Amino acid sequence: MTAALIVLFPFVAALLGMLFSRYIKPCWFAVAGTGLSAGFAIALTFLEPFETRALLTPTGTIPITLGMRADELSSTVAVMVTLVALAIQIYSIGYMKHDVRYPAFAALVSLFTAAMLTVVLSADLIVIYVGWEIMGVCSYFLIGHHWEKPSATAAAVKSFLMTRFGDVGFLFGIFVLGVAAGSFRVSDVIAAVPTMSPGTVLTGTLLLLVGVVGKAAQFPLHSWLPDAMAGPAPVSALIHAATMVAAGAYMVALLFPVFLAAPLTLEILGLIAVISMIGSALAALVTDDLKRVLAYSTISQLSVMFAALAVGGRTQAVGHLLSHAAFKALLFLGAGAVIIAVGSNLMADMSGLRRRMPVTFLTMTVGFAALAGIPPTAGFFSKDAVVAAAEHSTGWLVLTGLLVTALLTAAYTTRAWLRTFFGPNGPEVDEASKIMLVPLAVLATASLLLGLGAVWVEELRPELLSAVLSVVLAGIGAVLVFLAWRRDPARDPAVLLGRARGVFASAFGTDDLYERTVARGVVKLANGVVRVDDSVVGQTVRGTGRGARALGGVLRLTQNGNPQFYVTAVLAGVVLIAVGVVVLQ
């Protein structure tokens, strides 16, 4: 019952917020629903693991069941989701106070939260898929919140289409594993893995991986996430920190025994992670839009989680998932405060804000330090654990990718920190409102305390070699950018990259490639469908209409308004019937 209420509270909050926003401030529903959900999620961590089961409907083959499951993984992630969502709802009261669409926004955030909690706590893969898809729909509306802007509409459509492509593979992966196990329940699928053929497990996990890659914005389905920054900052924080993209890493961790039975899938996951983490870090190094820098960093940090999973580090991946949720939500909400104050997303329009926005500066400094993996933040402990896991495995490619990413992450983090808060005096702005600063302070505290709490988990304790190596590389990256910036604080250090800057800024031209290949192919196919529809279906419909009209014209001849003609026709009919009867006898 506790697990069901965790999902139910934000769902009811979304419903009530939409129905009664004219009479009661929608923020009360949003905050109360998410707050109650967070309270029950915390209570769930004190309960023994359990799983409930109730038949949804007979299907004739494999039944679909309603049920909740709670174990260490799901209850911990549920706490993370609800607390971050609560911080975002409180922050949004100040951020969205002048937005007439706030009631719909708050309701969609609540529904989004309920959908993610459905994914986290459901015991059946089909029900998990329902929550998975509801998140996709909510992301479409939230990213396109400012639908009057063509960029927001385009970003919403792009995210919807790219993630839907991945979701097709995810659904078929569920079918493959569910049919092989004779059940869609998570526990039954995991228990049935030893009885499945290697080909079945490989096929199922590869199909699931397609959906995970799409949802987590990994290469080659990554380009939708930076464009999704067209949505408000709280939306970005929600999608990047607590829901949606985090769902991909969670699903691999949830079904990790299944993935362990398919080593090739984990090798492919590791390769995708290395490409994604380095490529997105390079893109972040040259991007001027602060939110897009954070978006590319999300792709890179999710890759770090997948790298841990690829080398068998499930606990390390979950540890980084939790720490990333805290510091990435902090950074996006902090970026929102800066953007609201400055009126621009571009770091070129910022600089020198540390004195004018001291609280935002201090809290975001903690977030940037955690992102760069600087001790004693949570990011340091969780990243070091991932590097150590790769070091103890045979995944030399993954280890190399992680070390290169550590250097690049510190470099682009330092660049963003310096260009936003230091340099020449920037615009005359005021600090954000108190209701926006409270979540920043809480998340900054969490980004520090989670690091200290990690010491109690054996798999997350720092190891000397990996810790020193990570910190040294991070220091090199930070110092190089600082020296380049110090020469001319008014100039972007990225200009030193020369022509490579344009290549990195376009994310290696992936969008261009999609436009020339996939987009053109889809447009041609759509045009072909239109022509077939017009020449076959349309002609058939039009021909039917012409035939009916011609028949009506013939019948109209008999309706000439002459009574003598009608009587003659009736008599002729009677004669014909009489003759017919005589002849047939």
What are the tens digits of pLDDT across the range 172-202?
Answer: 999 999 999 999 999 999 999 999 999 999 9
* Average pLDDT, integer, range 28-34: 91
CB 342 within 8 A of CB 360: no
DSSP string, 250-289: HHHHHTHHHHHT-HHHHHHHHHHHHHHHHHHHHHHHH--B
Q: Among residues 224, 59, 70, which one has the least CA distance to residue 126?
A: 59
Task: Give the β-pairing of 69-70 and 54-57.
Answer: unpaired
How far apart CA 291 and CA 226 sit, in angstroms, is 8
C-alpha distances (whole Å) from 440 to each of 71, 84, 87, 382 are 30, 11, 8, 21
Residues in the chain: 585
* Average pLDDT, integer, range 505-527: 74
| CA dihedral for 479, 482, 486, 491, sign (positive or negative) | positive
Confidence of residue 154 (pLDDT cuts 50, 70, 90): confident
Q: Among residues 355, 352, 347, which one has the least CA distance to residue 413?
A: 347
CB 214 within 8 A of CB 244: no
CB 318 within 8 A of CB 73: yes
The rounded Cα 447 to chain-centroid distance in angstroms is 21
Reply yes or no on whether the pLDDT at 240 is more than 70. Answer: yes
pTM of the predicted model, to two decimals?
0.87
Q: What are the structure tokens assigned to 260, written together?
A: 């362990």
Q: What is the pLDDT of residues 88-100, one digit of tens each?
A: 999 999 888 888 8
Task: Give the β-pairing of 64-66 and 54-57.
Answer: antiparallel
Q: What is the pLDDT of residues 341-377, one digit of tens each?
A: 998 889 988 888 888 899 999 999 999 999 999 988 9
pLDDT score for 558: 62
How is residue 522 annotated by DSSP? H
Give Rg (Cα) of the chain.
29
pLDDT score for 576: 72
